Homo-oligomer: A and B are copies of this chain.
Amino acid sequence: MSSSDLMQNLNIRAIQLLQEDAIKIEKLIEVQMDNLTTRKCPLYEEVLDTQMYGLSREVDFAVRAGLIQEQAGKELLIKLERNLAKLYEALNKKE
């Protein structure tokens, strides 16, 4: 394999891994959205914050290690943060 092919493979793999982790967080958000009408779990906010922090550290590492472009990492996190903001908005309306 040429070095540019290798770099491309590593780049694709890195993006895939980060997206997998982002999807896990998306699912946590969805579960909470679906349960808006039932009892709110007091720990969901803490769990989501921790997961977001973990993912942001992974993204930061992937950028520093030269695996992904800074912009790609930012977009991934911004998309998630928007969905999180929607969840918090929906929760605040309920209160």
Contacts of A33 in B (CB 8 A): none
Interface magnitude class on chain A = 20 to 34
A1-13: contact bitstring with B at CB < 8 Å (1 yes, 0 no)? 1110111001001
- Interface residues of A, dominant DSSP: helix
Greatest chain B CB density within 10 A among A17, A54, A65, A66 is at: A65
A53: Cβ under 8 A from any B Cβ: yes
Listed by A's residue number, 24 A-B pairs whose Cβ atoms lie within 8 Å are A2-B3, A3-B3, A3-B6, A6-B7, A10-B10, A10-B66, A10-B67, A13-B66, A14-B65, A17-B61, A17-B64, A18-B61, A53-B53, A53-B54, A54-B57, A57-B57, A57-B58, A58-B58, A58-B60, A61-B61, A61-B62, A62-B65, A65-B65, A67-B67
